[in-house]
């Protein structure tokens, strides 16, 4: 069961790494207050991305330190957590460190996540992933051969829902490409990102408000050939998105039945279905185009984390060197919120009869307000439904998951949350 409430996340690619062993240690600087959080909060968990190499002994230790002279780590732990080095995967993945105490970090202050593996040796060590943010990266794409197309003009809108970008990602999305062709002179095509909601009998669809700025591209000069061409839609301001179902929505406001754009797609089951709307994107009028999926690419600005930087030391922290072109891949969390389940027990519940509801309440601290999600999976692990809602401190939320089943079966309930700066 997932239940970690996320404040920071920096995760781009695995282009570079740092050996953590013996005197070789590493650090990531972070600034409290980034990504929309504007308050002090207690630190409970730290996650960093990496893998073990060889057969390391002892523990990998992650600690939080204040900033010392020259912006370097202070070498004084405020809290720490350890993981047995031998238990870490040989494939790159996130490793969770539970802090031994939960000090409150001050809004606007700079701290360091420091990684050590005192008993490890080079070759039998922990490899810490970090990102060299020198070029754009591809967040998600569906570029297989096309065998479907959707006509877009006037009140007829299109969209594609998907998870952005992976379970451990947070990106500044700057550009989307769609494969299209035109009929006549359709004028400008607009594209934006939107939040999603579940509609019973339809699935996951866009909501009515844009989360991002709107990208506008003239379609009057693109190809008229039915094989289409890739068309770029650059957002005026990059859209920061964490892992959650999101929708790309497009429209051709000045088009008509003789002047329109066709957006190409396929039936690639790796993505959520394409969606359409015949009422200018109004809530309640979206429909699924299953099994169609749009051909698309999403590109993110690999600009790194402006509030942080990577530091390294080859002599156990006596001398530190900074690198302002790289960032460690990390996430930090406060202690888990108290989430009470009124309708079901945490972890499982029975689905039968009419629509299934999950009623929750977050009761222990104002630090834990934000957007939570619930996901329901059947015993085979297939996602049946997910929903999200904003919860205020000491408030409750009731999700109608829109699931109707004719027979009872025990399903997994996953709960999590995150803070975003988009609205």
Domain co-membership, 297 together with 153 = yes
pLDDT above 70 (res 18): yes
Reduced to 3 states (helix: H, G, I; strand: E, B; else coil), residue 266 is strand
Rounded to the nearest 5°, which phi and psi values hold at 34?
A: -75, 160
Query: E strand or H helix at 193, and its extent?
Result: strand 188-199
Residues 23 and 109 in one domain: yes
**Can you tell me the distance from the alpha carbon of 25 to that of 7, in angstroms, rounded to the nearest whole number?**
24
How confident is the model over 241-300, as pLDDT tens digits?
Answer: 655 678 899 999 999 999 999 999 998 777 788 999 999 999 888 998 888 889 998 877
Whether the predicted model's global pTM rises above the 0.75 cut = no
Q: Is the pLDDT of residue 387 over 70?
A: no
Domain boundaries, position 363: 339-418
pLDDT at position 372 over 70: no
292 and 347 within one domain: no
List of residues 6+ apart from 318 with CB closer than 8 A: none
Query: Is pLDDT of 205 > 70?
Result: yes
Please report whether residue 288 resides in a domain: yes
Quick one: 170 and 40 in the same domain?
no
Q: Looking at the structure, tell me whether residues 350 and 383 fall in a common domain.
A: yes
> Residue 181: what pLDDT?
97
Structural domain contains residue 423: no
Residues 349 and 241 in one domain: no
CB hemisphere CA count around 125 (13 angstroms)? 19
Res. 227: pLDDT tops 50: yes
- At 87, give phi and psi (nearest 5°): -85, -10
Residue 331: pLDDT above 70?
yes
Taking residues 348-352, what's their average pLDDT?
Answer: 38
- On whether both 218 and 199 belong to a single domain, the answer is yes
pLDDT for 375: 57
| In a domain? residue 154 | yes
CA distance 203 to 396: 24
Same-domain status, 153 and 278: yes
* Residue 121 to residue 268: CA distance in whole angstroms: 46
Same domain, 26 and 151: no
- Check whether 69 has a pLDDT greater than 80: yes
Same domain, 275 and 399: no
Taking residue 277's Cβ as centre, other Cβ atoms within 10 Å add up to 22
Residues 288 and 318 in one domain: no
Return the CATH number at 324. Answer: 2.60.120
Dist. CA 99–CA 88, nearest whole Å: 17
Q: Is it the case that residue 5 has pLDDT exceeding 60? A: no
Residue-by-residue DSSP string for 301-320: E----TT--EEEESSTTSS-
- Per-residue pLDDT of 99-134, as tens digits, reads 988 888 888 888 999 999 999 999 999 988 876 554
Q: Is the same domain home to 111 and 121?
A: yes
Banded model confidence at residue 58, pLDDT cuts 50, 70, 90: very high
Could you give the number of structural domains in the chain?
A: 3
DSSP state of 282: -
CATH assignment of the domain containing 408: 2.60.40.4070
């Amino acid at each position: 069961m997932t239940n970690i409430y996320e404040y920071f996340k920096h995760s781009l690619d695995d282009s570079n790494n740092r050996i953590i062993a013996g005197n070789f240690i590493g650090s990531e600087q972070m600034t409290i207050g980034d990504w929309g959080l504007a308050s002090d909060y207690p630190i409970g968990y730290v996650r960093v991305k990496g893998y073990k190499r060889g057969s390391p002994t002892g523990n990998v230790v992650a600690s939080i330190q204040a900033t010392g002279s020259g912006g370097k780590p202070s070498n004084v732990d405020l809290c720490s957590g350890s993981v047995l080095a031998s238990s870490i995967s040989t494939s790159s993945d996130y490793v969770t460190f539970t802090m031994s105490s939960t000090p409150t970090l001050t809004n606007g202050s700079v701290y360091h996540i420091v990684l050590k593996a005192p008993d490890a040796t080079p070759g039998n060590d922990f490899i810490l992933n970090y990102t060299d943010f020198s070029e754009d990266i591809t967040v998600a794409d569906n570029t297989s051969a096309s065998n479907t197309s959707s006509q877009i003009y006037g009140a007829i809108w299109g969209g594609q829902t998907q998870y952005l970008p992976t379970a451990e990602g947070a990106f500044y999305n700057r550009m989307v490409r769609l494969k299209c062709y035109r009929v006549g002179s359709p004028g400008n095509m607009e594209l934006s990102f939107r939040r999603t909601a579940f509609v019973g009998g339809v699935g996951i669809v866009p909501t009515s408000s844009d989360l991002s700025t709107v990208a506008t591209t003239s379609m009057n000069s693109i190809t008229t050939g039915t094989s289409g061409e890739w068309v770029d839609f650059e957002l005026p301001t990059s859209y920061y998105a964490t892992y959650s179902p999101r929708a790309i929505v497009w429209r051709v406001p000045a088009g008509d039945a003789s002047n329109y754009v066709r957006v190409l797609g396929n039936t690639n089951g790796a993505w959520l279905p394409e969606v359409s709307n015949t009422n200018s994107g109004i809530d309640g009028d979206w429909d699924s185009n299953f099994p169609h999926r749009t051909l698309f690419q999403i590109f993110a600005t690999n600009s790194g984390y402006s509030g942080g930087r990577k530091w390294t030391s080859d002599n156990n922290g006596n001398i530190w060197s900074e690198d302002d072109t790289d960032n460690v891949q990390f996430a930090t969390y406060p202690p888990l919120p108290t989430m009470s389940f009124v309708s079901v027990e945490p972890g499982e519940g029975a689905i039968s009869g009419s629509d299934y509801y999950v009623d929750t309440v977050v009761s222990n601290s104002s630090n834990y307000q934000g957007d939570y999600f619930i996901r329901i999976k059947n015993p085979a692990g297939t996602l049946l439904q997910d929903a999200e809602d904003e919860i205020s401190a000491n408030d409750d939320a009731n999700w109608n998951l829109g699931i109707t089943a004719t027979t009872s079966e025990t399903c997994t309930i996953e709960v999590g949350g995150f803070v975003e700066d988009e609205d």
